[in-house]
């Protein structure tokens, strides 16, 4: 996953996400916040640039205070391809499976994908 830090990239991503409202709403707010100074210490990740399949927003890993606090360890996701979501959940380091977290998203299939990966890993999902 690539972390977007360049203001031009963040602006382009913001414009792209606006075209897919309301499904992009969970990530769009964080993208806008990061592009405007990032007072909340978040980061924006994409699987590739500029033709991304998934956008993930999260608190910077160094700012995690408690591995059991799933409110602090909140992730927001927008994906164009369900396969990109599966790849993100199964094999990337972008999602730290060693800590409690919650995933916010508004797309069909998100819950099923999370349940599948959790079952395969023997994890409990609430």
| pLDDT-wise least confident of 35-39, 88-92, 114-118 | 88-92
The full 3-state SS of 58-92, as one line of letters, equals EECHHHCCCCCCCCCCEEEEEECCHHHHHHHHHHC
Give the tens place of pLDDT for each residue, 50-86. 999 999 998 887 766 666 776 777 888 999 888 888 8
CB 47 within 8 A of CB 88: yes
**Domain boundaries of the chain, sorted by first residue:** 2-121
| pLDDT-wise least confident of 8-17, 19-28, 69-78, 90-99 | 90-99
- pLDDT over 80 (residue 97): no
Q: Quick one: average pLDDT of 39-50?
A: 90
Q: Quick one: average pLDDT of 3-22?
A: 95
- pLDDT over 70 (residue 104): yes
CATH topology of domain 2-121: Aminopeptidase (3.40.630)
CB 51 within 8 A of CB 84: no
Number of neighbours of residue 9 by Cβ within 10 angstroms:
16
Can you give the pTM of this predicted structure?
Answer: 0.84
DSSP one-letter code for 20: T
CB 105 within 8 A of CB 99: no
User: Comparing C-alpha atoms, which of 122, 78, 83, 118 is closest to residue 101?
Assistant: 118
């Amino acid at each position: 996953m690539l972390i977007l830090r360049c203001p031009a990239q963040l602006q382009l991503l913001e414009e792209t996400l606006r075209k897919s409202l309301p499904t992009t709403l969970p990530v769009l707010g964080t993208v806008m916040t990061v592009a405007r100074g990032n007072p909340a210490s978040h980061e924006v990740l994409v699987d590739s640039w500029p033709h991304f399949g998934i956008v993930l927003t999260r608190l910077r890993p160094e700012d995690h205070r408690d591995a059991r606090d799933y409110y602090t360890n909140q992730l927001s996701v927008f994906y164009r391809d369900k396969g990109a979501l599966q790849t993100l959940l199964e094999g990337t380091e972008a999602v730290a499976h060693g800590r409690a977290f919650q995933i916010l998203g508004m797309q069909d299939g998100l819950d099923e994908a999370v349940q599948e990966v959790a079952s395969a890993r023997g994890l409990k999902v609430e």
